[in-house]
Amino acid sequence: MLGSFIYSNPTKLYFGEDALDFLGEELPKYGKNVQLIYGGGSVKKNGIYDKVVEILKANGKNIFEDGGVMPNPTVEKLYEGVRIARENHVDLLLAVGGGSCCDYAKAVSVSVNCDDDPWEKYYIRFEEPTCEIVPVGCVLTMAGTGSEMNGGAVITNHKTKQKIGHVFGENVMPKFSVLNPKFTFTLPKRQLAAGIYDIFNHICEQYFSGSDDNTSDYISEALMKSVIHSSRIAMNDPENYEARSNIMWTATWALNTLIAKGKTTDWMVHMLGQSAGAYTDATHGMTLSAVSLPYYRYIMPYGLQKFVRFAKEVWDINAVGKTDEQVAEEGLAAMESWMKELGLAMKLSEIGATEDMLEGIADGTIIMDGGYKVLDRSEVLNILKAAL
Ligand code: NZQ
Ligand code: ZN
């Protein structure tokens, strides 16, 4: 452990089959007006919406509907959410859904009392909120992003073809999140797989960096092993509560600020995937799976020892009589076959990207400098070509 840091995470979590019962304990802490945020309708079909509304009414809340949050929420939808919150003097933004609803609620929360254009302020100039923030609560229905316990809020601008995340601080993180693994039972398998890979890649992004002996890396290995194990059970037996609960809990810990502490982090798979997402509007986890292997195979020589460790510790590769390069490649090959087992998109063409988009995707890829190799634009383009 080398780095110095402050660790604090203010989100209170309620986890388990009865987690929603605790919503009634949280609601009295906030004013009467609640903006009820949800997506394209899954929560109405599976009954979660009705349960939440019942609890809101029992607590005397005025409900202001804000449905239709799309996967990869757009800047236009953000403006609409801000308008709803302003018109109704909202006291609490309650997101009932996956990462998209939760992210969107956070983006609205920092924009309601702010005169500036939120896209320009937070996603182009990366400024911090300077106005009063409306509190956010979350009832999670999909495991993956970690949005339930972090400050991330990713917004897509289709006009400018940009998908950008702002990681806000503690004051924007959800005040509370309700995590009932049973709420994820109705997820289509494709979304389940995408969420599982999102979890795994969040861990990779924080693992493949640095060379010191870091406690975070040991935690990361345990989280990766847990998600691989539970993914195989949940994909075959979608109503296996134990597997679903492990996946949900792993998702939270994969990106709730803990494992990034004391070390540098990479995030280039997310930068490549997000830019591809701006062009294709594809499911987040699938954009990551499509670019991962070309990226990791390219940077492997620059962080060889970590890839060897990954192969041995996470994938149980036997290193006897093999070179480091062979061991590292066998680790990535094991990851590749697990990804195929999950049915993930393995190529950008599978998520709707075409060759003529690649220059634009490269331009939109934000280059981070925490990983084993700081890429230049031509390297980004070559990775995208290999991923097509
Ligand atoms: O919209 P509805 O009808 O609710 O359907 C959703 C949506 O179509 C469906 N779904 C969710 N829960 C369900 C369900 N369907 C049936 N049963 C359920 N229980 O699943 C679809 C995807 O939902 P979405 O919320 O978009 O998925 P996810 O949780 O993966 O969130 C993706 C967004 O989060 C951002 C992504 O970029 C993307 O915009 N991210 C946020 C991060 C953060 N806050 O730190 C980090 C991530 O890396 C990611 O970038
Ligand atoms: Zn992600």
Q: How far is the CA of 284 from the centre of ligand 2 (A)?
A: 7
Mean pLDDT of 273-296: 98
Q: Which two tokens stand for residue 307?
A: 């890839």
283 DSSP assignment: -
* Ligand 1 atom closest to Cα of residue 202: 48
Q: How far is the CA of 132 from the centre of ligand 2 (A)?
A: 28
Q: Is the pLDDT of residue 366 over 80?
A: yes
Q: Is the pLDDT of residue 212 over 90?
A: no
Cβ neighbours for 123, distance < 8 A, ≥ 6 positions apart? 75, 155, 157, 162, 164, 166
Rounded to whole angstroms, the maximal C-alpha distance in the chain is 69
**What is 189-387's CATH topology?**
Dehydroquinate synthase-like, alpha domain (1.20.1090)
Predicted confidence band of residue 289 (pLDDT cuts 50, 70, 90): very high
Q: What percent of the chain has pLDDT over 90?
A: 98
Q: Is the pLDDT of residue 211 over 90?
A: no
Query: What's 128-174 look like in SS3?
Result: CCCCCCCCEEEEECCCCCCHHHCCEEEEEECCCCEEEEEECCHHHCC
Spatial separation of the C-alpha atoms in residues 237 and 256, rounded to whole Å: 27
Q: Which two tokens stand for residue 167?
A: 């990681």
Q: How far is the CA of 328 from the centre of ligand 1 (A)?
A: 32
What separation, in Å, do the N-terminal and C-terminal C-alpha atoms of the chain show? Answer: 38
Q: Each residue of 227-237: b (16+ CB within 10 Å) or e? A: bbebbeebbee
* Ligand 1 atom closest to Cα of residue 274: 37
**The predicted structure's pLDDT at residue 1:** 67
Q: Which ligand gives the minimal distance to the CA of 199?
A: 2
Q: Is the pLDDT of residue 125 over 90?
A: yes
Q: How far is the CA of 355 from the centre of ligand 1 (A)?
A: 27
pLDDT digits (tens, 9 = 90+) for 341-362: 999 999 999 999 999 999 999 9
Sheet of 62-66: strands edge to edge? 12-15, 176-179, 136-140, 92-97, 33-38, 62-66
Q: Which two tokens stand for residue 309?
A: 């460790």
pLDDT digits (tens, 9 = 90+) for 312-337: 999 999 999 999 999 999 999 999 99
Helix count and strand count (H, E) for the chain: 15, 8
Q: Please provide the average confidence, as pLDDT, over all residues in the chain.
A: 97
Residues with CB under 6 A from ligand 1: 39-43, 46, 71-72, 97-101, 103, 141-142, 144-147, 150, 152, 154, 165, 183-184, 186-187, 191, 195, 198, 255, 270, 284
pLDDT digits (tens, 9 = 90+) for 249-279: 999 999 999 999 999 999 999 999 999 999 9
Distances (CA, A) of 103 to 9, 37, 45, 138: 17, 11, 22, 10
Domain boundaries, the chain: 12-183, 189-387
Spatial separation of the C-alpha atoms in residues 39 and 43, rounded to whole Å: 8
**What pTM value is reported for the model?**
0.98
Mean pLDDT of 110-123: 97
**What is 12-183's CATH topology?**
Rossmann fold (3.40.50)
**The predicted structure's pLDDT at residue 81:** 98
